A and B are shown apart, each in its own frame.
Chain A
């Protein structure tokens, strides 16, 4: 091994740099736990199931719970935030996955290269539109349009049976669960579609041509050859998009209605998510001199962090497992 100072500098500097994400992540988790600790002690496990968000009387007395000072009447429960986060992200996924696969197929299978390439690039760069700009459009244009022209049509014609009755009732002003889910879906489509398109382009043409020679139609080739060939990659990209939807903040803060205390009454109802609550409540939590409001936001943030880490590891496990069992030739 050479002992030149430059070689040692490269090794030392790169070794230091590569530990930054690990140290940063550990630091973030530790700070969250430390800040959330008072809230965890006071709230107990009921925090996960209660539907209330009372900051308490900031001008009244201070009560002591387990030796921790909290404003009188303060009572927090994060169930509506957790449920709202999961509901809106699941809606996003239901919307985004078929659209992404359809888009990827349209871009790869029969379209001439000179249209498919710029269109594909366009879909890719949609992922970079700032969340606030999407929120601006969602809040001022899409939400009001849908609630005036589309939601009433659905709400008035859906039969009153279980599951579908969730689509009935008051459609609101355009701020709510369905608008949030659609906006999130719009935001994660580029992530899933761009990856899926790249995967489809890696599928070798021999098996596809073979299937066509056996008399498969284009639809059957897609369903039986192309999509199964890259299934694990699509699942991975989908879960990545799901994780992105869970943590999305600004757009949801702008189109959800930001209601902390209860779940959406129907699919159009106002709601909020963990991330949107943190961004909209951080300002007002400074006014709580006991710091309890801030601690509750830390606990909510901790829950979000745990969910997103679980989703990430879930994605890794699914991708390695599915790719281990079905590994056709030629797949990277």
Chain B
């Protein structure tokens, strides 16, 4: 049994302790992986037997219907966050990796910028949602709106994108930048053609992670995006929009089995979307690592 022998040199009591310790590590692994598998099995076993493809092509109606509005709404929100939060986050990451100036003691400036990014990354999302509601929906009279949701969600995911971008850029060897400069490239041109291109896989990974967070968020959307059973129509304000997590939240404890199933259908679609995004980002990382190894 490769799993239990070879725990080290100890004998007697020490050996028993070492064996027990190893058993404990495997038990913790089971307690972490087991519930997750049970959860996924539960969602699949509730959603799949009643699954009908019309869920993808009809909108909610009475105590049933489908989730077309929510799926399209979630995709629109993802696209919006990619444009708004993605641009902001990547640019901020470029600044932190490439343009931060150094003070007289040789330390990098921008401590307060980094601190604000860290704080925002751990900030309770419901508080952002509350502020989005009172400031944008009520204060600016936008009502429930796509734009309000995008601003709040983008603020939420910018820290993740910024950190991923900064990390990816810092892994680009300094030689590359020096080489670009030695070839007489302008700063902006070198940044585009050499540095950013090399860091691209890392940046895209950060964006995919941010998108997976976006897909699964509920709290900041409830009071900014509102909810709409109609299909999204690209109107930025004065128009609520549907999204998948809403139907999990609102239908889960309803007394109608049809709504109950809709809740599980939405959960299944969410899990499939998120795992696709994350597996995609992982494949990207492995591929880019293979490239960088062959490049050296």
Contacts and interface: CB of A to CB of B under 8 A. Distances in A.
Q: Which of A18, A131, A193 has the most CB of B within 10 A?
A: A18
Nearest to A141: B42
A282 interface: yes
Given A130-B274, A254-B252, A110 B124 contact: no
A189 interface: yes
A109 B126 contact: no
Interface string B66-95: 000000000000000000000111111011
A133 B252 CA distance: 10
Nearest to B281: A125
Interface in B103-156: 110, 112-113, 115-120, 122-131, 133-135, 155
Given A17-B92, A22-B113, A212 B126 contact: no
B91 A105 contact: no
Contacts of B117: 21
Given A136-B267, A249-B125, A25 B120 contact: yes
A247 B116 contact: no
Contacts of A148: none
B42 A217 contact: no
Nearest to A214: B9
Q: Give the interface size bracket for B toward A.
A: 35 or more
Contacts of B94: 10, 14
Nearest to A1: B187
Given A11-B99, A14-B94, A247 B126 contact: yes
Interface in A216-254: 216-222, 240, 243-244, 246-247, 249-250, 254
B95 A15 contact: yes
Interface residues of A, number: 94
Given A17-B92, A137-B43, A250-B219, A128 B9 contact: no
A275 B123 CA distance: 11
Interface string B23-58: 011111101110110110011000000000000000
Contacts of B90: 17
B155 A24 contact: yes
A276 B217 CA distance: 14
Contact of A125 (B87, B127, B135, B275): B275
B133 A282 contact: yes
A308 B122 contact: yes
A73 B251 CA distance: 33
Contacts of B274: 125, 128-130
Interface string A1-37: 0101011011101111111111011011001100100
A97 B296 CA distance: 39
B8 A309 contact: no
Interface in A237-290: 240, 243-244, 246-247, 249-250, 254, 274-275, 278-279, 282
A87 interface: no
Interface in B202-256: 209, 212-213, 215-219, 222-223, 245, 248-249, 252-253
B245 A130 contact: yes
A16 B245 CA distance: 33
A234 B279 CA distance: 26
A155 interface: no
A130 B189 CA distance: 40
B271 interface: yes
Interface stretch (B14-22, B171-179, B287-295): B14-22
B43 to A, nearest CB: 7
B191 interface: yes
Contact of A20 (B8, B92, B124, B216): B92
A104 B98 CA distance: 34
Contacts of A131: 216, 218-219
B7 interface: yes
A93 interface: no
Contact of B116 (A21, A102, A220): A21
Contacts of A304: 124, 127
A300 to B, nearest CB: 9
A217 B18 contact: yes
B226 to A, nearest CB: 11
B290 to A, nearest CB: 15
A13 B88 CA distance: 9
13 contacts: A7-B188, A21-B92, A21-B159, A28-B128, A122-B33, A122-B36, A125-B275, A139-B253, A219-B22, A278-B126, A282-B130, A308-B123, A313-B115
Q: Top 4 closest A-B pairs, CB basis?
A: A102-B28, A247-B124, A130-B216, A217-B8
Interface of B: 3, 6-10, 14-15, 17-18, 20-22, 24-29, 31-33, 35-36, 38-39, 42-43, 87-92, 94-96, 98-99, 110, 112-113, 115-120, 122-131, 133-135, 155, 158-159, 162, 186-189, 191, 209, 212-213, 215-219, 222-223, 245, 248-249, 252-253, 263-264, 267, 270-271, 274-275, 278-279, 282
Interface of A: 2, 4, 6-7, 9-11, 13-22, 24-25, 27-28, 31-32, 35, 98-103, 105-107, 109-110, 119, 121-126, 128-137, 139-142, 186, 189-190, 193, 212, 215-222, 240, 243-244, 246-247, 249-250, 254, 274-275, 278-279, 282, 294, 297-298, 301, 304-305, 308-309, 311-313, 316
Given A249-B124, A316-B118, 19 more contacts: A4-B186, A14-B92, A28-B155, A101-B28, A102-B25, A102-B27, A123-B33, A132-B245, A132-B252, A133-B39, A136-B263, A216-B9, A217-B8, A221-B8, A254-B249, A278-B130, A279-B129, A282-B133, A298-B130
